[in-house]
Amino acid sequence: MSRAVLYDYFRSSAAYRVRIALNLKGVDYEQRSINLAEGVQKGGDYRAVNPQGFVPCLEIDGHTLTQSLSIAVYLDQTIPEPALMPRDPIDGAHVRSLALMIACDIHPLNNLRVLKYLAGELGVSEAQKDEWYRHWIAEGLTALEAMAKPRAGAYLFGDQPTLADVCLVPQLYNARRFNVPLDPYPYLRRADETATAHPAFAAAHPDKQDH
């Protein structure tokens, strides 16, 4: 297998997820930073790689893959161990639901391009923008806590990391950046604490990346 190439941005939640998944699967990869804050993703060079202009984008096995959850599923299908998804269909559906709550319901309302649009084109104040962020995070995490609680273990589901934890850890990292109180979510905090102590998660942390 040739070395994979990850088009990355250190603070991107979606790219953070893929770094975790690659580390869990033991994939050797080269990182190429796409500075979202400086608008590099809008340039023609990167659009030629990923027409959507988002990160992450992963070149692996002769293919170019986009979308963090799609990349994680590909890695899980081609590198079965350690598994990111339970084999039982009901357990798998539960884990996917937790992951999708984060990746599809919480994160899109609070990513950089949305926050920039609020502050720029719509002219909302910094305080209003931060309130927008905290509102949607709190609403999403409250539901996620309730969904996870009955089947949580050391991780969000059981006692081994799954796709749900791959999504959770970046989301809580960003919640802390915006001073969202996390005390109401003991099961989420426990899973996050367990996961961030895992070497694969720790190595993917934004503070460990080149900016």
pLDDT of 176 higher than 90? yes
Say if 209 falls within a structural domain: no
Domain match, 97 and 173 both: yes
Domain end marker among 65, 82, 99:
82
pLDDT in tens, 12-68: 999 999 999 999 999 999 999 999 888 888 888 899 999 999 999 999 999 999 999
Domain match, 173 and 197 both: yes
Distance CA 94, CA 72 (A): 16
pLDDT of 128 higher than 70? yes
Exposed e or buried b per residue across 150-162, where buried means at least 16 C-beta atoms within 10 angstroms of its C-beta: eebeebbbeeebb
Domain end marker among 61, 82, 103:
82
Domain match, 145 and 185 both: yes
Banded model confidence at residue 2, pLDDT cuts 50, 70, 90: low
pLDDT of 178 higher than 90? no
- List the CATH number of the domain containing 101: 1.20.1050.10
pLDDT in tens, 95-121: 999 999 999 999 999 888 899 899 999
For residue 188, the enclosing domain spans 89-201
Domain match, 57 and 93 both: no
Site of tokens 């962020």? 133
Domain end marker among 56, 82, 108:
82
Domain match, 123 and 164 both: yes
pLDDT for residue 59:
97
Domain count, the chain: 2
Helix 89-100 crosses helix 163-177 at what angle (to 10 degrees)? Answer: 20
Domain match, 76 and 95 both: no
